[in-house]
C-alpha cells in the first residue's frame, strides 16, 4: 500500500512517556487513532502515562513496535540514534511502518536504520514548552510544528500535525540544527530572565513577584515577536528554506 493510500486510523505506539510523548500520544488518541502501548521506565513516567493515557498498556519496546502502524519516538535527541539502531538490529522495524520522532535537532537522517527496513521516516517537533499534563492538550491548538520528511510522505507528517491541533511548517533536513538552536535559545533565555527578575523582586520582599511581572513580560515578548512576524503563514505548509523526555526544551524530546 502506498503512503497516500493509507487508512486514516492508525495503531499508535509511543516510546517515551516524558512530558512530550504522553501529551502527543493523548492528542493522537483524541484524533481517533488507537493507542497500542507506551514505554515508561521511571516511576514518574509511569504515573504520567496512567494519568494522561488511562487504559493504555505499558509495554516493552519490541512489543510496541510490533503492535503499531505508527511508532512515536519521544526521547532526547542524543538517545534517538542508538534507540533506532538497536531496534533495527533486533529486526523490529517493518516495511510501511510510520516512524515519527520529536527531537528538534534531527531530521529524518537519524531514522536511516528504520528506513533500511522499509519504514517511513517523519520528524515532527512542536515549538511549545510542555508541562506533561492535560493543560498541554489545549495549548497544542495553533502551536507550530516543524516537520521534515521525504517529499512523497511530507503530507502524512503535515496531516498528523493538523490532527493534533497544530500548524505544520517545513524545515529542511540541513536546517534542523539551526532550528533547534533557535528553540533552545528562546526557552533558555526567557526562563533565565524571568527567574532573575523575580529573584530581584523577591530579594526586596515583594510578594507574588511572578504575578507582578507577568503582564510586563507577556507584553514585552508579544511586542518583540510582533516585530518579526510579517503575517500568517499560508495553508499550514509554510517552509523555512535555505538550506520525550522531561528536559525543559520548547517541545520535542
111-144 pLDDT tens trace: 999 999 999 999 999 999 999 999 999 999 989 9
Place of cell 533547534: 180
Instruction: List all residues 6 or more positions away from 139 whose beta carbon is below 8 Å from its beta carbon.
Output: 128
Stated length of the chain: 253
What burial class does residue 228 get, using C-beta atoms within 10 Å of its C-beta: 0-12 exposed, 13-18 middle, 19+ buried?
A: exposed
Confidence check: pLDDT of 248 > 50: no
**What residue ranges do the domains of the chain occupy?**
3-174, 177-230
pTM: 0.82
**Three-state SS for 37?**
strand
User: By the 8 A CB rule, do 188 and 177 touch?
Assistant: no
What sign has the CA pseudo-torsion 182, 246, 76, 72?
A: negative
The CA distance from 253 to 79, in Å, is 9
CATH superfamily of 3-174: NAD(P)-binding Rossmann-like Domain (3.40.50.720)
d(CA 77, CA 103): 5
Task: Encode pLDDT of 24-72 as tens digits.
Answer: 999 999 999 999 999 998 899 999 999 999 999 999 999 999 999 999 9
Q: How far is CA 20 from the centre of its chain?
A: 6
Mean pLDDT of 77-99: 97
For residue 222, the model assigns a pLDDT of: 84
| CA 15 vs CA 75, 119, 227, 239: distances in Å | 7, 16, 39, 28
pLDDT at residue 239 above 70? no
pLDDT at 79: 96
Listing DSSP states for 48-78 in one string gives: HHHHHSTTPPB--HHHHHHH-SEEEE-S-HH
Amino acid at each position: 500500500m502506498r503512503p497516500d493510500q493509507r487508512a486514516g486510523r492508525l495503531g499508535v505506539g509511543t516510546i517515551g512517556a516524558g512530558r512530550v510523548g504522553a501529551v502527543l500520544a493523548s492528542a493522537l488518541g483524541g484524533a481517533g487513532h488507537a493507542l497500542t502501548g507506551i514505554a515508561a521506565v521511571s516511576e514518574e513516567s509511569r504515573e504520567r502515562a496512567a494519568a494522561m493515557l488511562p487504559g493504555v498498556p505499558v509495554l516493552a519496546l519490541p512489543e510496541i513496535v510490533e503492535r503499531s502502524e505508527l511508532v512515536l519516538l519521544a526521547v532526547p535527541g542524543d538517545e534517538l540514534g542508538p534507540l533506532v539502531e538497536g531496534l533495527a538490529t533486533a529486526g523490529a522495524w517493518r516495511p510501511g511502518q510510520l516512524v515519527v520522532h520529536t527531537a528538534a535537532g534531527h531530521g529524518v537522517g537519524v531514522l536511516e536504520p528504520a528506513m533500511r527496513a522499509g519504514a517511513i521516516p517523519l520528524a515532527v517537533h512542536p515549538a511549545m514548552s510542555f508541562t506533561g499534563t492535560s493543560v498541554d492538550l489545549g495549548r497544542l491548538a495553533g502551536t507550530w510544528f516543524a516537520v521534515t520528511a521525504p517529499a512523497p510522505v511530507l503530507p502524512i507528517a503535515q496531516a498528523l500535525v493538523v490532527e493534533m491541533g497544530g500548524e505544520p511548517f517545513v524545515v529542511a533536513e540541513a536546517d534542523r540544527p539551526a532550528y533547534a538552536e533557535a528553540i533552545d535559545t528562546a526557552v533558555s533565555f526567557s526562563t533565565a530572565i524571568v527567574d532573575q527578575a523575580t529573584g530581584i523582586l523577591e530579594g526586596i520582599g515583594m510578594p507574588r513577584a511572578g504575578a507582578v511581572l507577568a503582564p510586563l513580560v507577556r507584553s514585552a515578548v508579544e511586542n518583540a515577536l510582533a516585530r518579526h512576524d510579517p503575517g500568517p503563514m499560508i495553508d499550514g505548509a509554510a517552509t523555512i528554506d535555505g538550506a520525550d523526555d522531561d528536559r525543559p526544551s520548547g517541545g520535542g524530546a
